[in-house]
Structure 1
Amino acid sequence: MNEKIADRSMSQTVRAQLALRDMVLSGQLRAGERISELQAVDITGVSRTPVRMALVRLEDEGLLQAIPSGGFMVKAFSERDILDSIELRGTMEGLAARLAAERGVSARQLEPLKECLGDIDQLVQQDPVSVDAFSSYVALNARFHALLNELSGSSPVMRQIDRVAALPFASPSAFVMAQSALPEAHQILVIAQDHHRTVVDAIENREGARAEAVMREHARLAVRNLRLALRNRTHLDLLPALALATASVDK
């Protein structure tokens, strides 16, 4: 019985965590805005204990900051914060790719990754790429990165990648929709897909250093996408979370 209660509490914590994270990243909760436990209970419909745990988890992710008077505040992010988060993801995904290459993976293990590459190829062949195609790319790109990280065979590495990818603007698809309306959209997708193919080739040939370097460079595409999105400000509505950082990034 106690086990069931613990499972239910964990499920409610995750539910509250996802709901509150979505509100921050969608711009419904703005930088500097205070969130109390009671407010979070009202927002999520979850009881106070799991809500308290959810708020602490979001603090660990860097989205919230505990304040001395009680409750939490939505954090703002400097340009350095964003760039460091992207660099950290690239470092961790590079490590995952290197481990996969050095430890070796079978042709069967690579099949899902290659199938995913084929699906992405069909989208990249469109020029211009439709908004619907970009939406599909977000899902396929997330799947590619997840499959790639699993090939490392390292639970600790995968856990840390999940943690860093939860940071604002750090996920592999953080800026994909914001770039969809840019003139450079197709070119960026072509470069990203070339990185995807190159890292799979490096893993298949057991070239650890090459695989690691490609994934670190691949993460830096997000930096380029951020700057392009900021330059073309008419499309920032495709990335509401940028309200958390626009002021500092534009300096």
Structure 2
Amino acid sequence: MIQTPDTGRANNSDEAVADAIREMIAGNAFGVGERITESELSRKLGASRTPIRMALKLLHAEGLLTKLDGRGYSARTFSAEAQAQATEVRGVLEGLAAQRLAHHGLSALNRERLNKSVEATGAIIGRGTLDNEAIEAFTVANLIFHRTIMQGSDNPFIEDCLRRLKVMPDSGVGEVLGSNRVSWSLNRIIVSHSQHVIIKTAIETGDGTRAFNMMREHSSAPAEYHELF
């Protein structure tokens, strides 16, 4: 059953289904050339066929799926060069979102969300150990941090573009660390938390340039983290 990230409530909307399929593509849930069908996705996602059909058409139009002869689609594969290009674009987009939020100012709700996110990741580091419970807690706090900034940017085109990049492996620390596509380490969480603190401070003080640069670095770092940790 598809659930909304913040509430956990079931969501069968076309957009929610498309996001769920994007996550499956990003997580290599489909083999090369594997036929993706409405019936199979309906079973896996617990969603009705109509929103799945619309989501597949949307992802095909975006170039993320290839139409196969007969019924069904296959997931598009991306080269290492394409992945690097996506990482570059994602860094700029997330940096722009942070910059806009710094210039516009935080609402009381967004300030509270960022504060709680940073407090949660700080508490995880304070434990000194990394287990499944800590990973789950970080996943939630990390996604809240990134989505708060993205949605608070007051530019829906940023969110639309970032959604398309979700299928690219290692295209951004916000999504990568919030998934099972990396090997977890406490050092990665420490670095991510430290960058969150810097980004939050820059936004709170209205320093758009600092917010842009730090968020761009933060979103472009997974490949380097892989080498370091």
**In 1, are the aligned partners of 2:35 and 2:73 still within 8 Å (CA)?**
yes
Alignment check: 8 A CA contact 2:38 2:72 kept: yes
Residues 24 and 30 of structure 1 are in contact (CA less than 8 Å); yes or no, is this contact kept in structure 2?
A: no
Q: Which moved further from structure 2: 20-29 or 216-225?
A: 20-29
Deviation (angstroms), 1:99:
0.7
Q: What is the CA–CA distance in structure 2 between the aligned matches of 1:19 and 1:134, rounded to whole Å? A: 20
Deviation at 1:218, TM superposition (A): 0.1
Deviation at 1:137, TM superposition (A): 0.5
Unaligned 5+ segments in structure 2 are 1-10
RMSD of aligned alpha carbons: 3.2
Residues 104-123 of structure 1: pairs in structure 2 closer than 5 A: 104-105=105-106, 109-123=110-124
Tell me the SS of whatever aligns to 2:127: coil
Paired positions, count? 216
Letter in 2 for 1:52: R
| Residue 6 of structure 1: aligned partner | none
Shift of 1:126: 2.7
* Structure 1 residue 202 corresponds to structure 2 residue 206: no
TM-score (norm 1): 0.70
User: How many Å apart are 1:228 and its aligned residue?
Assistant: 6.6
Name whichever of 197-206 and 128-137 sits farther off: 128-137
Q: Between Structure 1 and Structure 2, whose CA radius of gyration is higher?
A: 1
- Map Cα deviations across residues 132-168 of structure 1 (whole Å, 9 max, x no partner): 2112101110011111223322233233333333544
- Measure, in 1, the Cα distance between the counterparts of 2:116 and 2:16: 32
CA distance in structure 2 between the aligned counterparts of 1:44 and 1:114, rounded to whole angstroms: 33
Structure 1 gap ranges (5+): 1-9, 230-251
8 A contact 1:62–1:75 mirrored in 2: yes
- Residue correspondence of structure 1 range 1-251 to structure 2 within 5 A: 11=12, 13-14=14-15, 17=18, 20-21=21-22, 23-36=24-37, 50-60=51-61, 62-67=63-68, 71-105=72-106, 109-170=110-171, 172-175=174-177, 177=180, 178-180=182-184, 185-226=185-226
SS in 1 for 2:74: strand
Q: Which residue identity is paired with 1:91?
A: V
Shift of 1:54: 1.9
- TM-score, normalized by length of structure 2? 0.76
Judging by fraction of residues, say which structure has more helix: 1
Identity among equivalent pairs (%): 27
Q: Is the 8 A contact 1:192 1:221 kept in 2?
A: no
- The structure-2 alpha-carbon separation of the partners of 1:25 and 1:109, relative to structure 1 and needing over 3 Å to count, comes to closer
